[in-house]
Structure 1
């Protein structure tokens, strides 16, 4: 057998062993991408996405359209993302806690976060905290909890939707600290901040990016920080961990997701474009002005984090006896 024939046979064997990528994957992207935000406009998630959208657009060569789809405590927007065509053109960004705890808080969710969505990358994290209305004659976490115990149901606890981090804290404080507060869900963090300033609610969980200007104006007061360390901007305010009042042992973050059946080459292309943007110094500087730290990861890393978080969430729900209720409309 001639050397040429042997070479041709070897090449045929090798080519047969290579995966044949769908034509769609080879040409992706060839149209604009849409990122669904399951909160109303003006919140922390909007700040995160708009900080890197232009850089990603330059990398992918296609516009990035941001679509706010609030409602149902992120369920409306995340369901739209999960049920979208799995072609890489519809993505979504949400707080990781919403995916971890929604299945435990609500029965009959219209989508399964574990089965219907795949993580592309972590995006960013930022200090958040518990804030109270500035006119309340209370000045610390201990004073707020003591007041809530002595006056069941008199404090309204605002959150950016059922199933959100704020909802989780309200339940945990009620069950574990016997601090009975009335949970009041809103459609986004901007609405929560407005409600807190107007005293429609007296306590709320907010990202620092939504809260600091109102703290400076005296309209609201910080009582605890939800982060691994104290926030430099509020260095005199203790963390929930310092107060032995942290219901979670994990740090929440914003992540980028796609429908689970999206082809792997497309997911990897998106991961490359978005993580490259998140490592860009100009993007990091933009994020820092809103008190966010970028957290780019591999696809495997974010999905491993998701599995770990789901297990922690299950244990926590069991500890406080959390029972699911009907999902909000």
Structure 2
């Protein structure tokens, strides 16, 4: 009986003491970076592409400037949703981040039937990293030099203009549909499993037109087998000033510039967000990183977390309007 009474009294005392203890402390600014832990920068495409190259150049610069190790991890698959869910489920301590194109946040929710994340509730915006447009490219066998020539040729040859894309529902596909609708022509969509296959078949002349990412468009145009005839952006590309925008060629509303951003899991404390933002913006403002990114026809564009949040919402709304305009159904 004594032992039982003692045990009860002891238990009640422990509960009372526990009630007076402070709650577990949230993550604090001094918790980042944690000694000996690298930052994991997760990329949703395989190593070797422009997205991966940008991530690695920024990671190297952060390590050089701060001594904080940044490790790029490639996790391709499922329209880059594997990388997004990897980061979404991580601890919000600043050590697991996503280096992601706008399509993850602005396009996937509108074009895919099953998206395992909410672009606004499941991530913490940190900074915009780079911007770069898609470019309308055509095979050199087409007798066209600009958008008007292409439209005239398509109208004179109904049903003969093939447009490649790097996948159904991707930006290259939606741009082609929106362009065709805007200028009143018919096109045949030829989807591929990725950018490399689509670009290769354009070079070989198996398809005639393709909305390509700026880095590969510029590289392939230099070989003379394709032409760049329009930039899907508000301004001309610094790396190819000779190529006019769609708006300059009387085709408005095709200026949805693609971008790449750094985000973390939801729930990151503001103090840690600011520390991570400072690491990335400092690296992105260095001349050698800016020069490296510019060689790939992108532009270093660091921002505040709030500015990135606004950009994410704006891109989401614009892509939603485009998807609705072209009548695309979720796949």
| TM-score under structure 2 length normalisation | 0.80
2:274 aligned partner? 268
Are the aligned partners of 1:158 and 1:204 in contact in 2 as well (CA < 8 Å)? yes
Are the aligned partners of 1:73 and 1:185 in contact in 2 as well (CA < 8 Å)? no
Equivalent residue pairs, number: 307
2:263 aligned partner? 257
Aligned partner of 2:171 among 160, 165, 184: 165
CA distance in 2, matches of 1:128, 1:195: 17
Task: Assess, with a 3 A threshold, how the Cα gap between structure 1 residues 279 and 169 changes in structure 2: closer, same or farther.
Answer: same
CA distance in 1, matches of 2:169, 2:83: 13
1:237-256 map, 5 Å = 237-256=243-262
Are the aligned partners of 1:215 and 1:222 in contact in 2 as well (CA < 8 Å)? yes
1:178-257 map, 5 Å = 178-186=184-192, 188-257=194-263
Q: Which has the larger radius of gyration?
A: 2
Task: Mark the runs of 5 or more structure 1 residues left unpaired by the alignment.
Answer: 1-18
Are the aligned partners of 1:132 and 1:220 in contact in 2 as well (CA < 8 Å)? yes
CA distance in 2, matches of 1:154, 1:67: 42
1:112 aligned partner? 118
CA distance in 2, matches of 1:81, 1:161: 24
1:132-143 map, 5 Å = 132-143=138-149
CA distance in 2, matches of 1:66, 1:249: 30
CA distance in 2, matches of 1:149, 1:90: 51
Task: Assess, with a 3 A threshold, how the Cα gap between structure 1 residues 83 and 219 changes in structure 2: closer, same or farther.
Answer: farther
1:50 aligned partner? 56
CA distance in 2, matches of 1:138, 1:50: 38
1:26-41 map, 5 Å = 26-29=31-34, 30-41=36-47
Aligned partner of 2:80 among 74, 81, 90: 74
Of 153-162 and 203-212, deviating more is: 153-162
Partner secondary structure for residue 65 of structure 1: strand
* 1:3-29 CA-partner distances (Å, limit 9, x unpaired): xxxxxxxxxxxxxxxx95426961424
The question of 1:285 aligning with 2:291 is answered yes
